[in-house]
Amino acid sequence: MANVKLTVNGRAVSRDVPDTTLLSEFLRETLRLTGTHVGCDTSQCGACVVHVNGKAMKSCTVLAAAISGGEVTTVEGLANGSLHPMQTAFNDNHGLQCGFCTPGMIMTGVDMVNRYKAAGRELTEEAIRHELEGNICRCTGYHNIVKSIQDAAAKM
Amino acid sequence: MSEGIGARVKRKEDKRFITGKGKYTDDIRMENQAYAAFVRSPHAHARVLGIDTSAAEAMEGVVAVLNGQQLTGDGIGNIICGWAITSKDGSPMNMGAWSALATEKVRYVGDAVAVVIADSQSQARLAAEAVEVEYEELPVLVSTRDALADGAAQIHDNAPGNLIYDWEIGDAAATDAALAGSAHVTEMEITNNRLSPNPMEPRSAVAIYDEAEEHYTLYTTSQNPHVARLVLSAFYNVAPEHKLRVIAPDVGGGFGSKIYIYPEEITCLWASMKTGRSVKWTSDRSEAFLTDAHGRDHVSTAKMGFDANGRITGFKVDTIANFGAYMSLFSSAVPTYLYATLLSGQYNISNIHCNVRAVYTNTVPVDAYRGAGRPEACYLIERMMETAAREMGKDPAELRRANFITQFPHETPVIMTYDAGDFGGNLDKAMAAADVAGFAARKAEAAARGKLRGLGYSAYIEACGIAPSQAVGSLGAGVGLWESAEVRVNPVGTVEILTGSHSHGQGHETTFAQIVADRFGIPIDNVQVVHGDTDKVQFGMGTYGSRSGAVGMSAIVKAMDKVEAKVKKIAAHTLEASEDDIVIEGGAVKVAGTDKQMLWHEVGLAAYTAHNLPDGMEPGLKEGAFYDPVNFTFPAGVYIAEVEVDPETGVTKIVQFTAADDFGTIINPMIVEGQVHGGIAQGVGQAMLENVSYDADGQLLTGSYMDYCMPRADDLPSYTLEHNTTVCPNNPLGIKGCGEAGAIGSPPAVINAITDAIGTNDLQMPATPQAVWRAIQAAKSPMAAE
Amino acid sequence: MYPTTYHKPETLETAVAMLQGSEEGKIIAGGHTLLPTMKNHLAAPTDVVDIRGIAALHGISDDSGTLVIGATTTHAEVAGSAVVAAACPALACLAAGIGDPAVRHAGTIGGSLANNDPAADYPAAVLALGATIVTNQREIAADEFFDGMFATTLEESEIITAVRFPACEAAGYSKFPNPASRYAMVGVFVAKTNGGVRVAVTGAGEDGVFRHDGLEAALSASFSPEAVDGVPVSPDGLLTDLHGDATYRANLVKVMAKRAVLASA
C-alpha cells in the first residue's frame, strides 16, 4: 500500500491505496470524483486529462503514488465560484454532445491556452487542432470544440 | 430571445457535463457491489472441451465463477435477431444460436465463455486469467468474399455454407434488359469497409437484484432502455418485465452500438441473482473493440446503365454482407430494408435490382452503425455516378442534375415513396457555398505547390423516422416502431416531458423543451425532459435511425395537443368563453380579442385544485400519446469535398467540406449543425482512416487506438454548412431528421474528390496515405502496382 | 495490473540497490510505456523504481558546446528549452512532435531511449547526432547503444543518467506519423556533424533505428534535398504492417530525408 497525499482541487487528501493505483482510479474510485473519465487503455483518448502541478497529464497513465505531495486539478475543481471561461465557451459554442470526452477536452483546452499565453504565441485554428492530438471526440467532429477553445482563449 | 422552434438555444444539459457532474453508468457504485470480468476466447473458432474454474475460485476476492452451462441451465435464452428476413426462395433466415456465455463452441475472438464475479475489478480480472479453458481449434473464416466459397469453414450447423439469407428486391429481368440496351454501362466492384463505432464511453452495466422483491434493476449504456427490458424479459427470460427496471443514465454516445442487448448485460443481471451482489461490468477500450457490434462490411458489384442522353436506365447490385459470428439484434434489416430500398438515391431510375447474401464469419457481430445500410447504398450510387460521369465525359454535377427526381411524391422501384425534396436546390446551394466555379484556379494554384487538388460530389438521400409499424411489421420487424410521450403540467405550471426517446448526446433535454416552449409560451427552464428510465417512462422505442425528431417529438406534439385541448376547456369554463375563442400566447391562456386571460400556471393550478372544472372533467393535467409514423422521412442533400493530395506520400488533406442539407423543419440549428459536424467526421473517418482488420486466424489487428485510426482534430477541417428546407408533409412538425446524414453523405464525396485529384477511379476505402500513394503509382504505370 | 511495489529513491545508489534487491524490478520515469503494458497485463514487475526523485538526473545544460540532457527531462522541457533551441533546434522540434501535449508533460528522454521502441523519435536524433548515452556505469556511443527492436546494450540495473549531444553544423528531422498511433511510421533525422553527414531512420526498420549509408554518402557530397533523389532506398529490412508495407516505407524514407534536409535550413 502507498500513502498518497495530494491537494485535489484545493483540498488536502491523504489515502492509503495499492501501489498500482492510477491517478484516474484514485480520483474516480477513492475520491469519487467521477468527472474524470477513462475512454481507452492506450493513453490516447484524453478523456482522463487532469492538471498535475499545473500541467495537463493523462491520469490513466500516472501512478497516484508517483505524484504524492503534488497538486491536482480536475474538471470538478475548475470553476471558482463561477464557471471557468473554458467551461462557458464549451456551452456557448456547443462544444460537447454526449459529454464523455468533455472533461478531458476542457482540461486540455485550459492547459493549451495557458501555455500559448505564457509563451506569447498565437493559438490559431491549426495550432488548436494540432494541440488536440491527444484528445478524441466521436460526437462533435471537433468543429465546435475548436471554436470553443478559440472563444475561451480570447476571454482567458 | 425566442426559445421556440428555430431558436439557437444553448443546451440545458451542458452544465453537468462541463463541471464533471454527468452521471454515467460507470460512475454508479452500489453498496454491495461486485465486479464482473469475462473469460474470452483467444481463438476465432474452436470447440470448448472443458472449463476448469478451480484455480480462479480459490483466488482472493472471488465470489463466483459462472459458465454457459449454468446460464442455459437457469433458462436464460439465446440472443436473438429481431427482424425476420425471408430468402427469395421463401425460406426463413438461418439464425444460429447465440448464448450469452458460449457452451459448445466459440465463434470469434472475444466470445465469452465464463464470467468471474469478485470483490474488486482487479481481482476479477486476475481470476479471469486463471480460468483454464480447453479448446479444440477449428478452421477459421474471416473474409466476406470467402464466406460462401466451397470448403469455407462452417460456422453454424443450421446455416449451410454460412449463408444466412439470399434476398432480393426489384425486377431482375427488367433491370438486365435495361442494362443490355444501354448506351453506356459503368461497372464497379465496391467494398464498404468494416468499422468499429467507438462511442467514447465504453459500455457498462450495473445489475442489482433485490431478493425480497424478486426485482432486478439494470443501469446500462443503452440507446433504448425499454427495448432492452422487453428483450431481456420476453426472450432472455432474465425477469418478467414488471420485475425489471432498466435505467440508461447519461450515455456517452452510441452511434448504433448501444442499441443492442449484449451478452454482458444479460450475464450481469443473471449473476446478480446468482450471487446476491450488485454486479458491475465496465468495458475497457480493448474489450470494446472485441465485443461492441461492428458496422458495414459489404462487398458489392454494381452496374449502372445510361442512355445516350445520360439518363440512368437501370441499376443492378449484388452484395455480400458480413454479419460476423452471430446475428445481432437488427443485423438482418441493415443490408436489406435499410440499404437496398435506398438504391434509387436522388435519381429517377425505372429499373433497379439488388441481391443480398448475408454470411457468417468468425468475426465480431455486425449491426447498425450510424447510417445503417444507407451509407452503403449512398456510397455505391454516388461512386457510380461520379465514375460514370468521368467515363462519359460529362460534368458530374450536371449528370446528377439531369437524373434528379423533381416531382413528389415519387415512388421508386425499391418500395420507397419519397414525399418531398428539392434536390436541384440542394445542389445549387452546395455548389455556390463550395465555390465550384473557382475550383479550376485553386487546382492550378495547388499544382504549382506540387499538390493534387480534387473535388468530389455526393448527393445523398436516406430514409429516417423509423418507422411505420404496420409497414415494418409486414417486412419482418419484431416490434412496432412508434414512439410514446407523456406531457405532465404541474400545478405550478412547470412541465415534465416523459419521452421514450433517449438522448446520448443529441441534446433532447433542450430541443424537446423548445417545442414545449414554442407551444405553451413558457421558458425552457420550466420544462424538464425525463428519459431513460423504464420506471418513469411507460414505454419507448429509443433513439436510432434519426428518429427522435420525426417520431419522438411527434409523440410529444400529440400529447401536447391533448393538453392544449384540456387547457382550453378549463380556460373557457373559467373565463366563461367559448373554447373556440381561447388562444395560448406568451405564457397566458386568453380569450381572443379581449383582455380576459388566465396565466399558464393558473390553468395548471385550476386543473389540480379541481374546485371549478367543467362538469365531468377529471382533475389533473397530464396526457400521453403514442405516435406511429405514416411514412419514412427523407432527409437529402449534396456534399462537396475538396482535397489536396501530396503525391510523394499519398497524404490527403480535406481543404474544404461543404454540406447542403434538407432536414425539414429545424428546431435548434446549433444542435442540428453539431449533428452534421459529427456525422461528417465519422464519414471522413470511414473514407480515409478507419478500418477493422483481422488476420487470417481471426485475430483482430486493430484492437486499440494504436492501430484503429480514429479521426482526430487535425485530420478534419472546419465545415461549411447550408440548409435548404422542404418541410416533411407527413409529421406534425415537418421534421425529417439529421443524425445520420453526415455519415451517409460524406464518404463518397471524399473518395470522389481523391479519385478526381489522383486521376484514377481505382480506390477503395479507407483511402489511407499508403492506399492513395499506391493508387497514384498504379495509375502512373500499371506494371508498378505490384 | 498485477500487484507491484512502488519506490521513489532520491539517489542513484539507492535506485540501483532497489533494482538489484528486487525479484523483477523495472525503472519507471514518465511511465508512458511501462504503465500501459502493465495495465494490459503484458508486464508484471515486482517492483517499479521511479527515478524522478533523483535530482541529478533532471535538467538541460550546455557543457562547452555539448548539450547535456538529464534522463528524466520531459519531452515538453526539451521542446521548450532555450538552451536546446540554441544548440540544436531540430532536437527541440523533434521533442515537440512526440505524442501529444499531455504525453510530453510526462514522457522522458531516458525512458524513450531505454525502451528503444522502433517507432520512437529520440533514437533517430541520438543516432544521427552521434550522441553519447551516459549511465551510472559508463558512457555508450549511440552507434553502440541500440540493439534491435526494444533492445539496447544497457545492462541489468544500468540506469541512463543523461544524454550528451555534440554540437552540429545543421540538423533536421522529418516524421511521417502512423495515422492511428501517431508514432513515427518513418522518421528521418539528418545531421551535418564534423564527422560528416549522419542520417538515422526510425519507425521503418525491422531492427529499430538505423543509419542509411547511401543517404549519408549523397548528403555528405551535397547537403541538399536534391541529393536524395538519386539514392536508392531498398525495402529490404524495412517493416511491413497494417499502415504501410516495406515498399511504401522505403518511399517515405526518401521523402522524409528530403524534408529533413529542407527543415535543417
Last residue of a domain, one of C165, C200, C228: C165
Measured CA to CA, the distance from residue B705 to residue B700 in angstroms comes to 13
Q: pLDDT digit string (tens) for C179-233?
A: 999 999 999 999 999 889 999 999 999 999 999 999 999 999 999 999 999 999 9
In chain B, the residue whose alpha carbon lies closest to the alpha carbon of C245 is B770
Task: Give the pLDDT mean for B669-694.
Answer: 98
Shortest CB distance from A134 goes to which of C5, C80, C99?
A: C99
Q: Where in chain A is the domain with CATH 1.10.150.120?
A: 85-155
Alpha-carbon gap: A89 to the closest alpha carbon of chain B (Å): 10
Chain C residues with CB under 8 Å of B769 CB are: 176, 179, 244
What does the alpha-carbon distance between residue A86 and residue B604 come to, in Å, rounded to a whole number? Answer: 40
Which CATH number fits the domain that encloses residue C181? 3.30.390.50
Domain B379-460+633-785 belongs in CATH node 3.30.365.10: yes
* Domain assignments of chain B as residue spans, ordered by start: 15-138+201-252+258-291, 379-460+633-785, 482-627
- How many contacts (CB atoms, under 8 Å) link A and B? 176
Residues of chain A neighbouring C3 (CB-CB closer than 8 A): 18-20
Those residues whose C-beta lies under 8 Å from the C-beta of residue B58, and which sit 6 or more positions away, are: none
Show contacts of B208-211: CB within 8 Å, 24+ apart. B208/B30, B208/B272, B208/B278, B209/B269, B209/B272, B209/B273, B209/B276, B209/B278, B211/B276
Residue B20: which of A76, A129, A145 has the nearest Cβ? A76
Instruction: Locate the DSSP E strands across B594-687.
Output: 597-599, 622-627, 636-645, 652-662
User: How distant is the Cα of A74 from the closest Cα of chain B, in angstroms?
Assistant: 8
Q: Is B532 on the interface with A (CB under 8 A)?
A: no
pLDDT digits (tens, 9 = 90+) for B277-297: 999 999 999 999 999 999 999
Confidence of residue B467 (pLDDT cuts 50, 70, 90): confident
- Residue-wise over C60-91: b if at least 16 C-beta within 10 A, else e? beeeeeebbbbbbbbbbbbbbbebbeebbbbb
pLDDT, averaged across chain B: 96
Query: Which of B27, B29, B200 would best serve as a mutation to test chain A binding (most A beta carbons within 10 A)?
Result: B200
Q: Do B649 and C176 touch (CB under 8 A)?
A: yes
To the nearest whole angstrom, how far is the Cα of C61 from the nearest Cα of chain B? 34
Tell whether B527 lies on the interface with A, counting CB pairs under 8 A.
no
* C40 and C72 housed in the same domain: no
Mutation choice for C interface testing from B59, B126, B198, B648 by most C CBs within 10 A? B648
Q: Cα B276 to the chain's mean position, in Å?
A: 35
Please indicate, yes or no, whether residues C120 and C196 belong to a single structural domain of this protein.
no
- pLDDT band of B786, cuts 50, 70, 90: very low
- Look up the ipTM and state it: 0.98
Share of chain B above pLDDT 90, in %: 97
Same fold, B15-138+201-252+258-291 and B379-460+633-785: no
Task: Average the pLDDT over B546-564 and give the result.
Answer: 95
Task: Return residues 36-55 of A near B (CB < 8 Å).
Answer: 36-42, 44-45, 47
Residues from chain A that touch B706, judged by Cβ atoms under 8 A, are 42, 44
> Is residue B634's pLDDT more than 50?
yes
% of chain B residues with pLDDT over 70? 99
Q: Is A136 in CB contact (< 8 Å) with chain B? A: yes
- So what's the pLDDT on residue B546? 87
B780 pLDDT band, cuts 50/70/90, is: confident
C139 and C91 housed in the same domain: yes
Same domain for C175 and C256, yes or no, is yes
Average pLDDT estimate for A68-72: 98
Assess B129–C contact: CB distance below 8 Å, yes or no: yes
pLDDT digits (tens, 9 = 90+) for C71-94: 999 999 999 999 999 999 999 999
Interchain contact A82–C (C-beta under 8 A): no
Residue pLDDT, tens place only, B59-69: 999 999 999 99
A30 at interface of B, judged by CB pairs closer than 8 A: no
Statement: residue B206 has pLDDT above 90: yes
Average pLDDT over residues B730-743: 96
Place of cell 474516480: A28
Q: Compute CA B572 distance to the chain's CA centroid, rounded to the nearest angstrom.
A: 46
Say whether both C237 and C150 belong to one domain. Answer: no
Residue C198: name the closest of C257, C152, C116, C239 by CA. C257
The separation between CA B675 and the C-alpha centre of its own chain, rounded to angstroms, equals 12
How far is C-alpha B6 from the chain's CA centre?
Answer: 25
Whether residues C160 and C75 share a domain: the answer is yes
Query: In the structure grid, which three cell numbers stand for residue B15, read together?
Result: 452544465
- Length reported for chain B: 786
Q: Which of C252, C257, C185 is nearest to C218 (CA)?
A: C257
Q: Over the stretch B137-173, which tens digit does the pLDDT of each residue have?
A: 999 999 999 999 999 999 999 999 999 999 999 999 9
- Cell numbers at C234, concatenated: 531498398
B15-138+201-252+258-291 in CATH: which number?
3.90.1170.50
The residue in chain A having the minimum alpha-carbon distance to the alpha carbon of residue B198 is A138
User: What's the pLDDT band for B785 if we cut at 50, 70, 90?
Assistant: very low
> Which of A23, A25, A63, A74 to mutate to test binding with chain C, by most C CBs within 10 Å of its CB?
A63
| Min Cα separation B58/chain C (Å) | 17
Name the closest residue on chain A to residue B251, using Cα atoms. A98
pLDDT tens track for B83-118: 999 999 999 999 999 999 999 999 999 999 999 999
Do C143 and C205 belong to one domain? no
A45–B16 CB contact, under 8 Å: no
**Overall average pLDDT of the C16-36 stretch:** 96
Q: Do B710 and A146 touch (CB under 8 A)?
A: no
- DSSP 8-state secondary structure symbol assigned to residue B78: P
Domain containing C216 equals: 170-264
Residue B123 φ/ψ region, left for φ over 0, alpha for ψ in the -120 to 50 degree band, beta for the rest = alpha
Best CA proximity match to B158, nearest among B102, B90, B104, B96: B96
C-alpha grid cell for residue B267?
A: 450475464
B494 to chain C, any CB pair closer than 8 A? The answer is: no
Sheet with B33-40, strands from edge to edge, namely: B62-67, B112-118, B33-40, B278-282, B204-210, B215-220, B244-247
Query: How confident is the model over C89-139, as pLDDT tens digits?
Result: 999 999 999 999 999 999 999 999 999 999 999 999 999 999 999 999 999
According to CATH, the topology of domain B482-627 is Aldehyde Oxidoreductase; domain 4 (3.30.365)
Give contacts of B 677-696 with C, CB under 8 A.
689, 693
Whether residue C40 and residue B770 make contact (CB cut-off 8 A), yes or no, is: no
> A-contacting residues of B 498-517, CB under 8 Å?
504-507
Residue C101: predicted pLDDT: 98
The reply to whether C141 and C174 lie within a common domain is no
Residue of C nearest to B648 (CA): C255
Looking at domain A85-155, which of 3.30.110.30, 3.30.200.20, 1.10.150.120, 3.30.300.20 is its CATH number? 1.10.150.120
Tell me, yes or no, whether C144 and C203 share the same domain: no
Q: List CB contacts (< 8 A) between B649 and chain C.
A: 176, 251-252, 255
- In this predicted structure, what is the pLDDT of residue B1? 52
* Neighbors of chain B by Cβ distance (3+ pairs < 8 Å): A, C
Please list every residue in chain C whose beta carbon sits closer than 8 Å to the beta carbon of residue A22: 35, 39
Chain C residues touching B708 at Cβ < 8 A: 180
- Confidence check: pLDDT of B784 > 60: no
Neighbours of chain A (3+ CB pairs under 8 A): B, C
Interface test with C, best of B707, B710, B781 (most C CBs within 10 A): B707
Query: Looking at the 3D structure of chain C, how many domains does it have?
Result: 3
Phi, psi of C16 (to 5 degrees): -60, -45
User: Nearest CB to A144: which of B677, B710, B711?
Assistant: B677
B213 pLDDT band, cuts 50/70/90, is very high
pTM for this prediction: 0.97
Output the pLDDT for position C194: 86
Nearest neighbour of C180 by CB, restricted to B122, B125, B706: B706
Taking 90 as the threshold, does the pLDDT of residue B748 lie above it? Answer: yes
pLDDT of residue B783: 57
CATH 3.30.420.40: does it fit domain A2-77? no
User: In a 3-state reduction of DSSP, which class is residue B277?
Assistant: coil
Q: How far apart are CA B102 and CA B152, in angstroms?
A: 22
| Grid cell listed for B505 | 448526446
| pLDDT tens digits for range B311-338 | 999 999 999 999 999 999 999 999 999 9
Q: pLDDT grade, residue B586 (50/70/90)?
A: confident
DSSP for B561-615, please give it.
HHHHHHHHHHHHHHHT--GGGEEEETTEEEETTSS-EEEHHHHHHHHHH-SS--T
What is the model's pLDDT at position B782? Answer: 62
CB pairs under 8 A between A and C: 81
Same domain as C153, residue C66? yes
* Contact check, Cβ <8 Å, A98/B251: yes
A98-123 mean pLDDT: 97
